[in-house]
Chains A and B, each alone.
Chain A
């Protein structure tokens, strides 16, 4: 079995799976259950100033469901901890004592003045926590009060608060970023410049889930009124992966360790984040949807995967980062064509109709009067739409053309790489 022991910023945990700062880490009861189930660490639900904030006593969550009521996306309007600070600190101290091998990180959200940070952080660190995570990410509620995403959207504020935190803390400081920005790079750079030891991302995305079809109000509401929440769950993973990869592949930010967050539900999602540059991962929604037991598959699945691939966890981290680039560097001489495996084809015709209606008219529906779906190479641009919609995995695959002419363009297949930067149609092309 692969060794999943992780040292993230020197913080040790038996596996790279931490529970993210969120309702599952609100109090000792939950965290004890999580650690009993096998979670590697927990980022305690965000602490704030005393007196503590209050939460609504109505719907805090809502979900985007599939027809079989699988939760695909999830929305919340819960704020940070609504318990007295001392209660949290007492419980954190006890947890760290009871579970010395697990990572325990304190998430904090404080107003933008240095004295407050200087006052609270040592008090929290005294519980024995392994590090801090600065919540510059929550997009709802607290952002109206100038905290959370309101900080995370202004790189100068990120840097300023990170500097205050680094000054007040002796344990590592992770900056949690909001995805509600145009580019994730300036916030990541600001964290780095402020002295952050790592970034974690993504926090949730501004969202309204839907309308109530009877009342024609937004859904859900608190006494008839609603507010935007933060969106998370499986549906946000691709957004998170892009942001993680951007930080990992960009010169200015590549040096900062990343804790990956966003829709991780099974071990494959964790592989995505790790391979794209995260050194560990945090999970919330999947636990809130299925309970803590999902850790079994996360650990077991990652273990088996690493064994199969003969990789260590460290070797997996960042493995896919070199494959991420800008569009302009993609090889325009590379040609693929879709190929339909007729033995696997179930004759649903989905590939045909989507290609016919919305793409390149490159798949037949009949051949010699018989229902038959076959790629027309002279029309196929290799777009992968048919592969994406085919209900049978492996039935349609993309085949790389290595010789002869592309039947679509009539041009010879060139082994040379050529990208947009040198393409004759590019008015800004590079010339020798």
Chain B
């Protein structure tokens, strides 16, 4: 079939409504009480527990599990949320198999760790369902802090600052708070509007003014905030996406995965979204898996995920890779696109096979194959659009195009802190963003109290 004859097969409602509803239901159903008690009993209550050490937010995991055992669920949730106010979302999206659950000592002899993620969800779900207040604010300090970004880093920072008695204004680009929790995560990982219920809970502490639809560089500048606030926290994530760097990258049918996921998350009925019959996903991270699996679950017939390196190098965890495969996604390792083919719409992508050379560099193996496509999703990472930082770029340091901060979240500007995906050295995980927001808030508080 020549590309000229190819008519893109892209349409909505490939599956009936019930099937779509089933496909986008909870990926991991929550534990029942009896399941949770049995699982909690498996925790050995380790001394200086390796799981806690492995948790970027340092949650006292044996401590919260012990409280599940004793039916002290409110206490358990408090143990979790005092270290990680987004413990509910992290229970759903953390790659626990490379964090807490990988560290579980039960792996030593039985290779079945305690299901920490599911237990964390069991403990925290009632708090977000019922919006039970667990935190209160310290006496007001009359200090005002601007937080740019309403995602995990920004909201975590704002919540901690509010509990410490400061007033916070959150400038949020989107129409809803939550950042990638709301717009960037596969729908079946956070059903029932969880990201909004979590944001609502965080804001309910008081002292946080949320300004939606206000974009840095368009509606206000960093310089302006620094003049009007006692401190500024930047948690703007990564605003732009990487390009393949090929000709015809703007052909219709070639999309950024992140945009489609956002659309999907905001759709009342995911079945309404047009889906290609043949979908190619380029990339190897969580976003690549999210878009591949969701395409499949919307009824795409063939989904090929193509990654330029091997399974060990994939950003998606092994669990996610398995999820892709059990959902019928064909995963191709060691290949990268070299040509986007199509007249007025993408029809095919030509790939070359890759490998590592002796020095570990990725090189072409000069073998090629072509895959047909109605839609191509790019999931090859995001980048920081430094331009939005305006005139203050001069005072900030950057490494690999991300903002440099110290371990307390301080930037090179004395009154500016930063955290989340926009800072250098992170791992693009929600849990890390939450921790960086929290750490920065603690440091901001220390500074403001000295002044």
Task: Please tell me if A353 contacts chain B, counting CB pairs below 8 Å.
Answer: yes
> CA–CA, A69 to B45, complex, Å?
20
A-contact bits for B32-58, CB 8 A (1 contact / 0 none): 001001101100111111100000000
Cβ proximity bits B351-390 to A, threshold 8 Å, 1 near / 0 not: 0000000000000000000000000000000000000000
Tell me the residues in window 314-359 of chain A with beta carbons closer than 8 Å to chain B beta carbons: 344, 346-350, 352-353
Shortest beta-carbon distance from A308 to chain B in Å: 26
Q: Which residues of B contact A392 (CB under 8 A)?
A: 109
Instruction: Flag if A347 contacts B108 (CB, 8 Å).
Output: yes
Considering only residues 16-60 of chain A, those with a C-beta below 8 Å from chain B are: none
| Interface residue? B69 (CB, 8 A) | yes
Interface residues of chain B: helix, strand, loop or mixed (majority) = helix
B109 proximity list for chain A (CB < 8 A): 344, 346, 392
B6 neighbours in A (Cβ, 8 Å): none
Interface residue from B37, B40, B44, B69 paired with A348 (Cβ < 8 Å): B44
Roughly how many angstroms separate A350 CA and B69 CA in the complex, as a whole number?
18
Select from chain B the residue with minimum beta-carbon distance to A352.
B47
Cβ 8 A contact of A69, one of B34, B40, B46, B108: B34
Query: Contacts of B47 on A, CB cut-off 8 Å?
Result: 348-350, 352-353, 365
Min CB distance A257 to B, Å, is 41
B46 to A67, Cβ gap below 8 A? no
Q: Does A68 sit within 8 A of B, measured CB to CB?
A: yes
Q: Which A residues touch B37, using CB under 8 A? A: 67-69
Chain B nearest CB: distance from A251 CB in Å?
46
State how many angstroms separate the Cβ of B32 from the closest Cβ of chain A. Answer: 13
Q: CA A307 – CA B109 in complex, angstroms? A: 31
Interface assignment of B262: CB less than 8 Å from any CB of chain A:
no
Please tell me if B106 contacts chain A, counting CB pairs below 8 Å: yes
A365 and B48 within 8 A (CB): yes
| CB contact list, A269-325 vs B, under 8 A | none
CB distance from A369 to the nearest CB of B (A): 13
Asked whether B169 is an interface residue with its Cβ less than 8 Å from the other chain, the reply is no
Instruction: Give B77-115 as 1s and 0s: 1 = Cβ < 8 Å from A's Cβ atoms.
Output: 000000000000000000000000000011011000000
Separation of A67 and B36 alpha carbons in the complex (Å): 9
Classify chain B's interface size.
10 to 19
Which chain A residues border B105 with CB–CB below 8 Å? 346-348
User: Does residue A368 face the partner (Cβ distance < 8 Å to B)?
Assistant: no
A425 at the interface (CB under 8 A from B): no
Kindly list chain A residues whose C-beta atoms are within 8 Å of the C-beta of B44.
346, 348, 350, 391
B-facing residues in A385-423 (Cβ within 8 Å):
391-392
Residue A66 lies at the interface, judged by CB distance under 8 Å to chain B: yes
Q: Which residues of A contact B49 (CB under 8 A)?
A: 349
Query: Are B46 and A349 interface neighbours, CB within 8 A?
Result: yes
A202 to B59, CA, bound (A): 47
- How far, in whole Å, are A66 and B70 apart by their CA atoms in the complex? 11
Query: Which residues of B have CB within 8 Å of A371?
Result: 48, 50
In the complex, which residues of chain B have a beta carbon less than 8 angstroms from the beta carbon of A344?
109
Q: Which residues of B contact A349 (CB under 8 A)?
A: 46-49
Which residues of A50-99 have CB atoms within 8 Å of chain B's CB atoms? 66-69
A66 touches B41 (CB 8 A): yes
Contact among B41, B48, B106 for A67, CB-based, below 8 A: B41
In the assembly, what is the distance between CA of A352 and CA of B47, in Å?
A: 8
What is the chain B residue whose CB lies nearest that of A351? B47
Q: In the complex the two chains form, is B108's CB within 8 Å of A67's CB?
A: no
A349 (CB) vs chain B CBs: closest residue: B47
> What is the CB-to-nearest-CB distance from A317 to chain B, in angstroms, rounded to a whole number?
37
Instruction: Say yes or no: B38 contacts A68, CB within 8 Å.
Output: yes
A350 and B45 contact, Cβ closer than 8 Å, known pairs A67-B37, A67-B69: yes
- On whether the beta carbons of A348 and B46 are closer than 8 Å, the reply is yes
A347, B38: Cβ atoms under 8 Å?
Answer: no
* B46 pairs with A68, CB closer than 8 A: no
CA distance A391 to B41 in the complex (A): 12
B50 touches A347 (CB 8 A): yes
Minimum CB–CB distance from B43 to chain A (whole Å) comes to 10
Closest residue to A357 on the B side, CB-wise?
B47
The interface residues of chain B lying within 8 Å CB-to-CB of A391 are 44
Q: Contact check, A346 vs B38: say whether CB atoms are below 8 A apart.
A: no
Question: B45: which A residues are within 8 A, CB to CB?
Answer: 348, 350
CA distance A391 to B109 in the complex (A): 11
Contacts of A68 in B (CB 8 A): 37-38, 41
In the complex, the chain A residue whose C-beta lies closest to that of B71 is A213
Chain A hits for B41, CB < 8 A: 66-68
Identify the closest chain A residue to B62 (Cβ): A348
Assuming the A-B contacts A346-B105, A348-B105, are A67 and B38 also in contact, with contact meaning beta carbons closer than 8 angstroms in the complex? yes
For the complex, what is the distance from the CA of A348 to the CA of B105, rounded to whole Å? 6
Return chain A residues, CB-CB under 8 Å to B106: 346
Alpha-carbon gap, A348 to B42, bound state (A): 12
Starting from the known contacts A69-B34, A344-B109, A346-B106, 6 additional A-B residue pairs (CB-CB under 8 Å) come to: A67-B38, A68-B37, A68-B38, A346-B105, A349-B49, A350-B46
Q: Please provide the 7 A-B residue pairs with the shortest distance between their CB atoms, ordered closest to farther.
A: A349-B47, A353-B47, A346-B108, A67-B41, A346-B105, A348-B46, A67-B37
Could you tell me which B residues sit within 8 Å of A by CB distance? Answer: 34, 37-38, 40-41, 44-50, 69, 105-106, 108-109
Can you list 5 A-B contacts (CB < 8 A)?
A67-B38, A347-B50, A348-B44, A349-B48, A352-B47
